[in-house]
Structure 1
Amino acid sequence: MTVHFRLALAGFFLVLSMPALASPAGHYAFGQPAAAASATRTIEVHMTDMAFTPTSLEVKAGETVRFFLVNKGQLLHEFNLGDAAMHAGHQKEMLKMQQGGMMTPTGMNHENMDHAAMGHGASGEMKHDDPNSVLVEPGKTAELTWTFSQADNLEFACNVPGHYQAGMVGTVKVGP
């Protein structure tokens, strides 16, 4: 085997081993972000401290849904679409944000960020900007619009440290 062939083969297997959840354009296996104007339905989701209402959602494959999120609790909460494995990974990132002083119990602390301490460079790569996720401070509202594709075991969750474990997670059934 030539060196070039081995490198190409190694690159091929590296790409195959990467999660198929996201691509650089923000497309996930379970769907993609969309403009609010393209939504065919709006679902209001209330966040209280350690609970979502409703706790389960039903959507159709190809449907574009605008989520209107209302934080009625006293703590910062997140609305994040994904599967359990994706949430587990995101929870680790959120814990680093909290430990680094970037996130407080009630909001984001943009003035006290030490990216180097969180394992990031001084250029500020650590931020909460995933297209399938939004943070909502107490008493505030936010929106997330998503076009769903067929998926199994999809959840919406709050990945602020400890919130998922306390039960702040719901299910999304994507049907035909």
Structure 2
Amino acid sequence: MRKDALLDAAEAVLFEQGTQALTLSAVADRAGVSKGGLLYHFPTKEALVTALVARVIGEFDELIDSFDDGSPAGYSQAYVHATFAILTGEARAHRRWSAITAAATDPELAAPLNEAMARWHGRAREGDPDPLTGAVVRLAAEGLWEVVSHAPDLYGADQLEALRRRLLELLER
């Protein structure tokens, strides 16, 4: 079994049943593997949560990089595009929330996510025409991700597209 499939199973357990339900047995059952099969890849619950957090960070970094054109406002635009790519993708908005929820139980497990957040939100590009607006737009995108993680049906596709366009317009002013 691939590690990603095991992480998908862990996310499903977290999203559907909450942090208290995240056990190695529950993840193995959800993935349809023996507990030994899971332990081969993730010897502890902490190792599993660490991998969940690392995957969220890596995927978001890759998305930002794929959208960043290197222009002064390009990073904030890329952040918006990356956020909406996740929000409108196949249930991926829940992925980060699941990882955050699991990591929040232990400051050591949350440290990589906290460092990534500081990097994502503290990043300013030289020559950015309006760093404050960039920060506000990134925070708004972050807040939207948080809301959609808890209420996935709150905004329809048209509303999400309108929000994406408005955030990008704010960066163009």
Aligning the two structures, in what range does the TM-score lie when normalised by the shorter sequence? under 0.3
What TM-score do you get using the length of structure 2 for normalisation? 0.28
Higher strand content, 1 or 2: 1
Which structure: greater helix fraction? 2
Highest RCO, 1 vs 2 (Cα 8 Å, sep ≥ 6): 1
